[in-house]
Amino acid sequence: MSRREFLKTAAAFVFAGMPLAEDEELVDFDDLSNFRVENHAELPRVRFFDLRHLTSLNTPEDEFFTFHQTQTPRIDSKTWMLRVDGFVEKARQFTLDQIRQRADKRDLAVTIECSGNVAAGAANGMVSSGVWTGVGLSSLLKECGLKPETREVVFFGADLERERPDAVEIPHGRSVYLQDALDPNAMLAFALNGKPLGPDRGFPLRVIVPGWYGMTHIKWLSRIMALDRRFEGIHMSRNYHTLREGDLAIETSISRTRLKSVVARVTRKRDAAGRFAYRIAGAAWGGPSPLKSVEVSTDGTAWRPAKLVESGGPFAWALWTLDWPDVRPGGHTIVSRAIDVAGSVQPTGAEWKQSVKTLREDNSQWLRRLTVKGGGR
């Protein structure tokens, strides 16, 4: 796709999906009393995406969720270089212009979710989506000549961290197995929705591993190292793990996203007869298999199929809506569940807790509560 074609497509995305009509108004939820977009200033830096603003496939850059374990570094693109070394035949350094000019430049829509994305407090707002522009990671690695003993590939950002106040600062990093780094969809991105990355998005370059949780998408990328052993970074060895329950409890690294859907908003507008017509809208993403459907239950009634309005592609969320008829004044509950083509169903909270014993990777169904005041019909 040429840049002109991409910008035309990105512009079209802004008007696709679920834009609010002029006479359409939000019906707010009762479960947002503790929610605020700006959650924490730094260390970690936490900013949520307000899902009530979900009206298109692409999240605007200034609304994109943010989670930084470290401080945002200020980088001069004129002097910045990406270093590739370790177990490679030929260590190399690349300028930003050299990366931008590589032959395998591509655009890919990818939804990024933090593995700590939860309903309480965050209102599931640690997720956003957009079209990323970059180049293939595998081609760059192969160009440097990976040695046969390479086991993992580590991505280091320009940001620094320390394990305790008196410890030395080291670059923040995350590793993946070699076969994952060589996935043809993995990329090094330098633009989002047709614009260069902003500082909070990882300027000048970040890793994008489609279908993986957010801690894999290292920002402010400065070094890629091929290793013949496991990488034991601060967060890699201590935080990027989930305890799973089964016949024997085991601890596994956090990697690929799990099947999930959310109810993002409820709106209403008057019909020709002067009565309010209600609509529920949301998004679904994640999981190893393509999305098949989304179902919604209101006030504990039977599941009803939602309409899939638009899909961003295999690695991006799909938007859905459901008309909600005969809504009476008073309190109501709404919950959605995603189903993939393999038959997997988004779990209830109780079902999720049976398989995952830590607080990360929560893909459980999210029960929303709202109150419809007089004039509901």
Tens of pLDDT, residue by residue over 258-289, are 999 999 999 999 888 888 999 999 999 999 99
In three-state secondary structure terms, 351 is helix
What does the alpha-carbon distance between residue 319 and residue 48 come to, in Å, rounded to a whole number?
A: 19
pLDDT interval class at 17 (50, 70, 90): low
CA-CA distance, 93 to 111, in Å (whole number)? 29
Tens digits of residue pLDDT in 74-84: 999 999 999 99
DSSP 64: S
Residues 250, 288: Cα–Cα separation, whole Å: 21
Question: pTM for this structure?
Answer: 0.91
* pLDDT score, position 3: 40
| Mean pLDDT (the chain, rounded) | 91
**Alpha-carbon distance 129 to 272, whole Å?**
36
Do residues 291 and 277 make contact, with C-beta atoms less than 8 angstroms apart? Answer: no
CATH number for the region 260-372 comes to: 2.60.40.650
Residues 6+ apart with CB under 8 A from 203: 75, 77, 196, 197, 220
pLDDT at site 246? 63
Do the first three CATH levels of 38-253 and 260-372 match, i.e. the same topology? no
Strands 106-113 and 92-95: unpaired
Domain ranges of the chain: 38-253, 260-372
Q: How many CB atoms lie within 10 A of CB 250?
A: 10
Range with the poorest average pLDDT among 17-26, 48-57, 143-152, 265-274: 17-26
Residue-wise pLDDT for 356-365, tens only, equals 877 889 999 9
| 243 neighbors 265 (Cβ within 8 angstroms) | no
If you compute the radius of gyration of the chain from its CA atoms, what whole number of angstroms results?
Answer: 22
d(CA 304, CA 311): 20
User: What tens digit of pLDDT does each residue of 167-214 get?
Assistant: 888 899 999 999 999 999 999 999 999 999 999 999 999 999 999 999
Query: Do residues 54 and 265 touch, judged by C-beta distance below 8 A?
Result: yes
* pLDDT tens column, 125-162: 999 999 999 999 999 999 999 999 999 999 999 998 88
Question: How far apart, in whole angstroms, are the C-alpha atoms of residue 122 and residue 318?
Answer: 21
CB 202 within 8 A of CB 183: no
The CATH code that applies to domain 38-253 is 3.90.420.10
